[in-house]
Chains A and B, each alone.
Chain A
Amino acid sequence: MSRPGFVLSVDERTPPLLVHQGEGFRLERLPLGTNVIYPPDSLPGIRNLDAEIARAIHNPIGIEPLPELLKPGMRLTVVFDDLSLPLPPMQTPDVRQRVVEQVLELAARAGVDDVELIAANSLHRRMTPAELKRVVGERVFRSFFPDHLGNHDAEDRDNLVEIGKTEHGEVVELNRRAMESDLVVYVNITLTAMSGGPKSLSVGLASYRSLRHHHNVHTLRHSRSFNDPPNSAMHHSYERMKDLIGEHVKVFQIETTVNNDTFPSSMGFLNKREWEWNLADQAAYVAVKRGNELLPARARRKIWQSTLAPYGVTGVNAGVPSQVHPITLANVHRQQLTEVDGQADVAIFGLPYICPYNVNSIMNPILVMSLGLGYFFNLYKNKPIVRQGGTAIFYHPVPHEFHPVHHPSYIDFFDEILTESTDPVVLETKYEEQFATDPWYVQLYRKSYAYHGVHPFYMWYWGAHALEHLGEVIFVGGNRKTTARMGFKAASTLADALEIASHTVGRSPTITYQHTPPLVMADVR
């Protein structure tokens, strides 16, 4: 029986607590009385995963079992989540591979010839063949790549189709092949409560024309939080689009959830509570930390990026998206939800080395912002863990580094656009269109491995709610130039950060530290 999450109150006997800080981590002695939100212990993974997948496929919710849906001569499209999920990438075999193999097994038995596999990468960069192979497995890859296994191309006008408009006038333009299939099987991993369900298809296979209706400053400011679908304007838009998609094509969604085994055993201490570290954990901490610091930057990144999570799967469920997703969400909450009493003046977050957009890449300042003010800040239900006008303190070095192939538009966004303004609304109205339609970005998105030109804007909007909510944003250990460019402050220590924060929250603020990763979602009462 794994323990539930809980809120630690730092007292005299609390050892220094671990804080992630980019490609590294540190121990920090937090002020007495600081509340620390711990996630529930990692849930046990399903032992016989294949049997569980089979069970889910044969007993779906709200739709016929998959074997009954598969007919000879049909057009079958299998869509799967791209490499942005889960984080860090899962040790092979990826659960998507296991699901896809079972689906294809059934399809083969039913005599389906026309099968297409599409990664739902939306405006994310294309996955490389190696990355595709990692997700779907050797067998599937060999059988389908490159002709029938590939990435969604949101700029391929010939392979997009507008299936209509929602009652709010939102254009729904999606991948033509998927929309003109007899059956779409969506294979999902829901890592946070944000993903999955109606989001899968309406974002994963959409084009910029369609995405702009939910990926914009307005919806994101009214998504409180975007990890809590009922209170997220963004998800309301997905819901509307989902209905339209549902009328158009039959969707069989298979959703999976993973537990909190985020770090491999060599870094097991990162999964443990600090006062339970034994000597071996402590030795590992010192060894890994020192080793990490001594490594040249390039080697360090390589090692972190090749870290694979030994995730256990906590649930596999299949059916129509609207009916499977609540079960999936319950599974996510079971693993991540911790109740927290009230909001604090100051919230502390340790930002790790990875976010959904820098798998096998570099976490640039924009991504740091989106991870901190977007993802982590929004890991809440009901209320943010920090009060309106409070301070958020993030730990990250925020280096001025960009991946020239993966994030070309980010470079321009950072160097030229953020110097003009950091206000999401200004950026949206003045520059979004220009970046979204820049032919070079489009070309790199389609032919190289670049994120779409408009993607850095979405990253900035991701933090729009936090920007509006927070009085002050401070990066401990942050590069002064880059943080200043983004309109934030840098402090060299936590004490300095609290000193800076004292102007807005006073000398003895209440502090909450969200101890993550592994992921924890605060249910603030």
Chain B
Amino acid sequence: MILSLQYQRSPARYLASKGITSTKPGRRFAGMVAGNISPLRLVNLPAPDLPGEGWTRVVPMLSGICGSDLGLLTGQSSPYLSPVTSMPFVPGHEVVGETLDEVPGVPAGSRVVLDPVLSCEPRGTKLCRWCTAGQHSRCDHITTGRIAAGLQTGFCADTGGGWSRRFVAHHSQLHVIPDELTNERAVLVEPLACAVHSVRRVQVPATSTVAVIGAGTVGLMTLLALKELAPDVPVHVVAKHKHQQDRALALGAAAVHQPDRATRAIRRTTTARMHVPEFGSEFLLGGVDIVFECTGGATGLDTALRLARAGGTVVVSGMPSGSVDLTPLWFRELTLVGAYASGQADAETRVGDDDAQPDAESRSRDGGRGVVGRKKASEERASLGRDRRPEIDGSPTDFHIAMSLAASAPLDDWVEPPYPLRRWREALAHAIDAGKLGSVKIAFAPGKD
């Protein structure tokens, strides 16, 4: 029997949580909702069985609390996702752990980080077109195969999850990490990979202007990824809290703005025109080329849509919640780009990048960032020799870039001292108010008592 935090199916509790947190005053009680109303329980469960060949038991050493977990627990996540999960499950997909079984490429006792997506390979199904192309985050087979439905480890009834003392993972999900990489840094690899992925979902020419809405974990990591992949591009970060602003500036943001002043400030630097509708917030005519929405809230996406220039791009990085006025999307002919989990540089982007001459030209004109970035990554691959799939079709994986970033970036105080599982309510409340409390990432140390 292992100690686990288990999420059970309970439409009533889900609706109650949703009801409370979808009102403004109720949002203050999000911590209470996550701890007391959500159907999460600390229980002793039988350890999950190995589903088959190539799977290993993993003992989590650190398990991060992700924004999507909190969305789930506060009732903010969309019911859309319910068919691609299977309950009850143990949450936790930002995991650094130790393997117990020998699997191909990962000796027993390796320190690993988890790429949580449960795509064709773990499921033992025939590879779908995406998995063939290395873009397993787009896998179409996440509901079939030898394990129960579940888009990721941490949402699947059969695998267990990071918020417990034991779970199972397929060797294709595991990335062995070098000894130099501390657990605290390693636990950030998965979210970093997502951030890298979101940046690689779009082309960021050196002449463009970029805004990042939100400076929580996702926002800061997106900034980090942007600075890694497109170092010359000025990035405006909209951050609510002082420590977030300081961190963003330290990471090389061109400017940080309070949310209520962001539109004005960005208007000025982009010499756009600002207009104030009779109802609702102000928007720009002109504005930034690419906006990364990293708050996961409707307000953040709304701001993002209002800040983007005509024909600009809005990347939705955070798991969205709530509904948003899409008029600017239509009116300014914006491109709305989703960025889920990690994988490979966008298929189209990558193909264009490598093969199509004009695009290749534009990249080199923009400072050859794509090429340089890739070169740098492949050089670093040597030092990270144990990673089995540093690149696919000549392009480094998001995870690979994330891994090198985790080793080099100034991430020292990003992970708070981890909580043991039995203090889960405290941990969740802390995570919900992380920005306010000056924290970036809250994690469990499931092994701790």
The reply to whether chain A is a binding partner of chain B is yes
Q: Which of A404, A415, A416, A440 has the most chain B CB atoms closer than 10 A to its own CB? A: A440
Q: Are B273 and A443 in contact (CB under 8 A)?
A: yes
Q: Are B273 and A416 in contact (CB under 8 A)?
A: no
Q: Are B276 and A438 in contact (CB under 8 A)?
A: no
Q: Which residue of B lies closest to A413 (CB)?
A: B268
Residues of B within 8 A of A416 (CB): 261, 265, 268
Q: Is B267 an interface residue (CB 8 A)?
A: yes
Q: Is B181 an interface residue (CB 8 A)?
A: no
Q: Which of B229-285 contact A (CB under 8 A)?
A: 258, 261, 264-265, 267-268, 271-274, 276
Measured between alpha carbons, how far is A477 from B274 in the docked complex, in Å?
A: 34
Q: Which of A134-164 contact B (CB under 8 A)?
A: none
Q: Are B272 and A440 in contact (CB under 8 A)?
A: yes
Q: Are B261 and A440 in contact (CB under 8 A)?
A: no
Q: Are B265 and A440 in contact (CB under 8 A)?
A: no
Task: Return A442 CB to nearest CB of chain B, in Å.
Answer: 10
Known A412-B265, A415-B264, A415-B265; contact A440-B273, beta-carbon cutoff 8 A:
yes
Residues of A within 8 A of B273 (CB): 439-440, 443
Residues of B within 8 A of A411 (CB): 261, 264
Q: Which residue of B lies closest to A437 (CB)?
A: B271
Task: Return B55 CB to nearest CB of chain A, in Å.
Answer: 55
Task: Return B149 CB to nearest CB of chain A, in Å.
Answer: 49
Residues of B within 8 A of A404 (CB): 276
Q: Which residue of B lies closest to A409 (CB)?
A: B268
Digit string of A426-460 for contact with B (CB within 8 Å is 1, else 0)? 00000000000011100100000000000000000
Measured between alpha carbons, how far is A440 from B264 in the docked complex, in Å?
A: 11
Measured between alpha carbons, how far is A440 from B267 in the docked complex, in Å?
A: 9
Q: Which residue of A lies closest to B268 (CB)?
A: A412
Measured between alpha carbons, how far is A440 from B273 in the docked complex, in Å?
A: 5
- Report, as a range, how many residues of chain A touch the other chain: 10 to 19
Q: Which of A408, A415, A439 contacts B271 (CB 8 A)?
A: A439
Measured between alpha carbons, how far is A296 from B337 in the docked complex, in Å?
A: 46
Task: Return B49 CB to nearest CB of chain A, in Å.
Answer: 59
Residues of B within 8 A of A415 (CB): 258, 261, 264-265
Q: Which residue of B lies closest to A435 (CB)?
A: B268
Residues of A within 8 A of B268 (CB): 412, 416, 438
Residues of A within 8 A of B261 (CB): 411, 415-416
Q: Are B271 and A412 in contact (CB under 8 A)?
A: no
Q: Which residue of A lies closest to B285 (CB)?
A: A440
Residues of A within 8 A of B271 (CB): 438-440
Q: Which residue of B lies closest to A416 (CB)?
A: B265
Digit string of A285-297 for contact with B (CB within 8 Å is 1, else 0)? 0000000000000
Residues of A within 8 A of B258 (CB): 415
Task: Return B280 CB to nearest CB of chain A, in Å.
Answer: 14
- Report, as a range, how many residues of chain B touch the other chain: 10 to 19
Residues of A within 8 A of B265 (CB): 412, 415-416
Measured between alpha carbons, how far is A411 from B258 in the docked complex, in Å?
A: 13
Measured between alpha carbons, how far is A443 from B271 in the docked complex, in Å?
A: 12
Task: Return B317 CB to nearest CB of chain A, in Å.
Answer: 26
Q: Which residue of B lies closest to A414 (CB)?
A: B261
Q: Which residue of A lies closest to B284 (CB)?
A: A440
Q: Which residue of A lies closest to B269 (CB)?
A: A416
Task: Return A414 CB to nearest CB of chain B, in Å.
Answer: 10
Residues of B within 8 A of A412 (CB): 264-265, 267-268
Measured between alpha carbons, how far is A438 from B269 in the docked complex, in Å?
A: 10
Q: Which residue of B lies closest to A415 (CB)?
A: B261
Residues of B within 8 A of A440 (CB): 267, 271-274
Task: Return A428 CB to nearest CB of chain B, in Å.
Answer: 17
Residues of A within 8 A of B274 (CB): 408, 440
Task: Return B361 CB to nearest CB of chain A, in Å.
Answer: 32
Measured between alpha carbons, how far is A167 from B264 in the docked complex, in Å?
A: 41
Task: Return A160 CB to nearest CB of chain B, in Å.
Answer: 22
Measured between alpha carbons, how far is A331 from B91 in the docked complex, in Å?
A: 82
Q: Which of B134-182 contact A (CB under 8 A)?
A: none
Q: Which of B258, B265, B267, B268 has the most chain A CB atoms closer than 10 A to its own CB? A: B268
Measured between alpha carbons, how far is A94 from B261 in the docked complex, in Å?
A: 40
Q: Which of A293-331 contact B (CB under 8 A)?
A: none
Task: Return A267 CB to nearest CB of chain B, in Å.
Answer: 35
Digit string of B373-411 for contact with A (CB within 8 Å is 1, else 0)? 000000000000000000000000000000000000000
Measured between alpha carbons, how far is A29 from B261 in the docked complex, in Å?
A: 41
Task: Return A494 CB to nearest CB of chain B, in Å.
Answer: 32
Residues of A within 8 A of B264 (CB): 408, 411-412, 415
Residues of B within 8 A of A443 (CB): 273
Q: Which residue of B lies closest to A438 (CB)?
A: B271
Task: Return B253 CB to nearest CB of chain A, in Å.
Answer: 14
Q: Which of A201-256 contact B (CB under 8 A)?
A: none
Task: Return A399 CB to nearest CB of chain B, in Å.
Answer: 16
Task: Return A479 CB to nearest CB of chain B, in Å.
Answer: 16
Measured between alpha carbons, how far is A412 from B263 in the docked complex, in Å?
A: 10
Q: Which of A413-428 contact B (CB under 8 A)?
A: 415-416
Measured between alpha carbons, how far is A411 from B257 in the docked complex, in Å?
A: 13
Q: Which residue of B lies closest to A439 (CB)?
A: B271
Task: Return A417 CB to nearest CB of chain B, in Å.
Answer: 9
Residues of B within 8 A of A408 (CB): 264, 274
Measured between alpha carbons, how far is A416 from B274 in the docked complex, in Å?
A: 16
Measured between alpha carbons, how far is A244 from B264 in the docked complex, in Å?
A: 40
Task: Return A69 CB to nearest CB of chain B, in Å.
Answer: 45
Measured between alpha carbons, how far is A439 from B274 in the docked complex, in Å?
A: 11
Measured between alpha carbons, how far is A148 from B268 in the docked complex, in Å?
A: 35
Q: Which residue of A lies closest to B275 (CB)?
A: A440
Measured between alpha carbons, how far is A421 from B441 in the docked complex, in Å?
A: 34
Residues of A within 8 A of B272 (CB): 440
Residues of B within 8 A of A439 (CB): 271, 273
Measured between alpha carbons, how far is A440 from B274 in the docked complex, in Å?
A: 7
Q: Which residue of A lies closest to B258 (CB)?
A: A415
Task: Return A235 CB to nearest CB of chain B, in Å.
Answer: 33
Measured between alpha carbons, how far is A439 from B270 in the docked complex, in Å?
A: 11
Digit string of A381-416 for contact with B (CB within 8 Å is 1, else 0)? 000000000000000000000001000100110011
Task: Return A411 CB to nearest CB of chain B, in Å.
Answer: 6
Task: Return A437 CB to nearest CB of chain B, in Å.
Answer: 9
Measured between alpha carbons, how far is A440 from B271 in the docked complex, in Å?
A: 7
Q: Which residue of A lies closest to B270 (CB)?
A: A440
Residues of A within 8 A of B267 (CB): 412, 440
Digit string of A17-42 for contact with B (CB within 8 Å is 1, else 0)? 00000000000000000000000000
Measured between alpha carbons, how far is A412 from B272 in the docked complex, in Å?
A: 13
Measured between alpha carbons, how far is A408 from B271 in the docked complex, in Å?
A: 13
Residues of B within 8 A of A438 (CB): 268, 271
Residues of A within 8 A of B276 (CB): 404
Task: Return A285 CB to nearest CB of chain B, in Å.
Answer: 38
Task: Return B378 CB to nearest CB of chain A, in Å.
Answer: 41
Task: Return A311 CB to nearest CB of chain B, in Å.
Answer: 36
Q: Which residue of B lies closest to A453 (CB)?
A: B268
Task: Return B436 CB to nearest CB of chain A, in Å.
Answer: 19
Task: Return A40 CB to nearest CB of chain B, in Å.
Answer: 45
Measured between alpha carbons, how far is A67 from B281 in the docked complex, in Å?
A: 56
Task: Return B318 CB to nearest CB of chain A, in Å.
Answer: 26
Task: Return A484 CB to nearest CB of chain B, in Å.
Answer: 15
Measured between alpha carbons, how far is A9 from B264 in the docked complex, in Å?
A: 49
Known contacts A411-B261, A412-B265, A440-B274; 6 further A-B pairs (Cβ under 8 A): A415-B261, A439-B273, A440-B267, A440-B271, A440-B273, A443-B273
Across chains A and B, which 6 residue pairs bring their CB atoms closest together, nearest first? A440-B273, A412-B268, A415-B261, A412-B264, A416-B265, A411-B264
The contact sample of 25 A-B pairs, CB cut-off 8 A, is A404-B276, A408-B264, A408-B274, A411-B261, A411-B264, A412-B264, A412-B265, A412-B267, A412-B268, A415-B258, A415-B261, A415-B264, A415-B265, A416-B261, A416-B268, A438-B268, A438-B271, A439-B271, A439-B273, A440-B267, A440-B271, A440-B272, A440-B273, A440-B274, A443-B273
